[in-house]
Structure formats: C-alpha cells, structure tokens
Chains A and B, each alone.
Chain A
Amino acid sequence: GAVVSQHPSRVICKSGTSVKIECRSLDFQATTMFWYRQFPKQSLMLMATSNEGSKATYEQGVEKDKFLINHASLTLSTLTVTSAHPEDSSFYICSATSSNRALNQPQHFGDGTRLSIL
C-alpha cells in the first residue's frame, strides 16, 4: 500500500516550453503533497507544500509564477514548470501524506522526474 506514482520519469524539452509533472497517490487520499528539487550531487530541497483545494505554500526563494502547483483532488497534484530554461534542469520529486497534522503519518515518495532543458 501507500504508492505514489509520478509521471513522466524523464522529460527533455526545448528552452521556453512549459512542462507538467503529475504526482498521484494510487491507494490513499493525499491531503498534503510536497514538491522537492534535487540538483546533481546535492540534497533534496523542499519547493512547496500543497493541500487539496487550497493554494500551495512556497518556500523562500521559489518563484510561484515559475512553478505552478495545483492540488485539485485528494489523489493528484501537478507541478508545471513554466517557460523552462536550462537552469531549471533538475530532478523533481513529490511526496504525499494522508494527514495534514498527524506526525505519525509518513510521507510516501514518487520515483521522481528528471527534467532536462536544452
């Protein structure tokens, strides 16, 4: 149980295009989803937190107009990288949890998306 599916796993596109990444909880309702970014040989950095039906909360330094997050249902959150540029190339990974307050509910990670902007 507690499977999170992330799609696509790999995307290569030209500079200036927008890219949408989906994160789905397959067998549980995800009240909260998180988006992380990981540059090569670095750690995961939290970008934003999204709760179903409300606006995402972005971490300091993350451009909300650049990284659009939508969490329209309890099983789906999307991250859209708008007008992507080479510096946006990174590994993006989502996680989901079934409770927005209970600390003992673990986060379940997707397998990540490797984004390469040419």
Chain B
Amino acid sequence: AQTVTQSQPEMSVQEAETVTLSCTYDTSESDYYLFWYKQPPSRQMILVIRQEAYKQQNATENRFSVNFQKAAKSFSLKISDSQLGDAAMYFCASGGGADGLTFGKGTHLIIQP
C-alpha cells in the first residue's frame, strides 16, 4: 500500500521568486518512482519531473528540481524563477510500472505578478 501526503492545499509566490512544494510518502515497495505532475485548468496531466528511488542524485528539469530525502520519505519540488504559466494544481505521486499511481491531494500554486 502506498500513501502520498501533500500538506499545503495552496501556495502563493511572486513571479520570478522560488517556491517549494512539500510531499511525503509511504510505501512498502523496494523500488519505486516518485513524480510531480502539473494539472492546469484544462485538466491535462503534465509530467514535471520524476525520481527513481534508487538514485541518490536529485532530479532536475530546467527550473524544476526535487529534494529527495529517502530516509525521511520526503520528496519536495522546487520551482525557481516562477512564471505565470506555472500556475496550476501540482500533484505528487508514487508508483510506476505495472502499478497505478497514488496521488497526493494536490497543491494549488498561485503566481502573483
């Protein structure tokens, strides 16, 4: 069984600033992936970044990076140089392969111009 917890229902950041979204998880799997998905008002699910649990190096995709703390079961997302287009719901998820994804409740990110 897997659980994913996002404790921030909403976050607000000024344009061009940096924001960190929190996520903790619990899983009985020995190998797994962790994901951050962006869901804009169109409701498309857009993969932002993913991290394999076996890799110690934190994943980075341009302005998006994660802080993966395996022992603490923490997987936070840092967005640098926030842009208006980053405004969306952000979901943390765990799983992968033959298993469906378990999602957190999401964080609504607001970008203040």
Q: Show the binding face of A for B, using Cβ within 8 Å.
A: 32, 34, 36, 38, 42-46, 49, 51, 59, 91, 93, 95, 97, 99-107, 109, 111-112, 114
Contacts and interface: CB of A to CB of B under 8 A. Distances in A.
Contacts of B45: 44, 93, 95, 109, 112
Contact of A43 (B43, B91, B98): B91
Residue among A44, A95, A97, A112 with the highest chain B CB neighbour number at 10 A: A44
Interface in B46-103: 47, 50, 52, 91, 96-103
Contacts of A109: 44-45
Interface residues of B, number: 22
Contact of A49 (B47, B98, B105): B98
Interface in B13-63: 31-33, 42-45, 47, 50, 52
Contact of A101 (B33, B50, B97, B101): B97
Contact of A103 (B33, B103, B105): B33
A19 B98 CA distance: 27
Contacts of B91: 43-44
A46 B97 contact: no
Contacts of A43: 91, 103-106
Interface of B: 31-33, 42-45, 47, 50, 52, 91, 96-106
A46 B1 CA distance: 13
A82 B110 CA distance: 38
28 contacts: A34-B101, A36-B100, A38-B43, A43-B105, A43-B106, A44-B45, A44-B101, A46-B100, A49-B98, A49-B100, A93-B45, A95-B101, A99-B97, A100-B97, A101-B97, A101-B98, A103-B33, A103-B97, A104-B33, A104-B52, A105-B97, A106-B47, A107-B101, A109-B44, A109-B45, A111-B42, A112-B43, A112-B45
